[in-house]
Amino acid sequence: MSSITEVKQRRTPVGNPSAEEDSQDSKLENKKLYDFHELPEWQQDNDKILTGYIRETRSWRKCLRALLIWNNESVNIYTHLVSSISYFLLMVGLTNVVAVPVFPTTTMMDFSVINFYLFGAFGCLMCSSCFHTFKQHSGPHCDAWSKVDYMGIIGLITCSIISLLYYGYFDSKEYFVLFTIVTVLLASACSVCVLHEKFNHKDFRTLRAAFFIAFGFSGIFPVATGVLKFGVAEVAERVQLRFVLWEAFFYISGAVIYGFRIPETVAPGKFDFLGHSHQIFHVLVVVASFLHLRAVMGSYVFKHTHLGGPGWLL
């Protein structure tokens, strides 16, 4: 009897824990999209977005192939990729041919200032698009690309302020130089902060948003100085203040929505693929960047039609 029992026990399949784990890992590897709880810890950034993730790839090619898969980063990638390409095309030729009217007093410096802003917008949006494309490669790559993204934001803010400083103070060299130096120093200080490892931690989301808002608000000081020097009405035309205010509204709104994770905090899982805070932020950034371009173009036209000269900087 004992021998028969022994034979049956030998024939009874025994579960292999390692084989079951390998099977589960294989199923996980074969998925295209993952849920939040299936991600490695370094990828778990926003727990209100529950599905639609590209899991850690450790491959550049897989990151690029993911561009063809509709996931929760697709809107983030393409809103800024398409916009950056558009700004690049404007910068390399279409500005001079189509967008900028030529006046008798127009100089190469005018084209250079407009292209300077376009370069900042192109760089910022392209850096952002690359970050969202390659962030799922691995933890170290995500950290590196996030810093590239932050530097792109700093570049855009810097180019935005300096481009309007030129038209706001085109006939007041000392003010232009002063505020340009201040802007560059602030940009340098911001760069040092954003390149610090702790700045990239997910717990600093709101601080990051506030940080960039504060840098953008530094543009208030040259505007206030201009009001004292030229008066409200002229400053409003010199820097096209109505467009600048709308620009600030969209930037700030986007940063607040991003910082407080609206609307996915209210309804987790409902906005995973379309409509979550980071996507809204991206769309508002594009709108704000276009409004700034409109302000620069309006300032250029006002300079040459009402103020009648190229100024100190030819």
Report the binding-site residues: 132, 278, 282
DSSP E strands in 86-170: the ranges are none
Nearest alpha-carbon partner for 98 in 85, 89, 108, 106? 89
Could you give the CA distance from residue 91 to residue 146 in angstroms, rounded to a whole number?
25
Backbone dihedral region of 30: left (phi > 0), alpha (psi from -120 to 50 degrees) or beta?
alpha
- Between helices 277-306 and 241-259, what is the axis angle to 10°? 170
Return the H-helix or E-strand segment holding 246. Answer: helix 241-259
Nearest alpha-carbon partner for 278 in 265, 290, 291? 265
For residue 47, give Cα distances in angstroms to 43, 108, 204, 267. Answer: 10, 50, 15, 12
User: Any residues with CB less than 8 A from the CB of 46 and at least 6 apart, and which?
Assistant: 261, 264, 276, 278
Could you give the CA distance from residue 165 to residue 180 in angstroms, rounded to a whole number?
7
Give the annotated binding-site residues for Zn(2+): 132, 278, 282
Chain centroid to Cα 62, Å, comes to 23
C-beta separation of 259 from 212 below 8 A: no
C-beta separation of 20 from 41 below 8 A: no
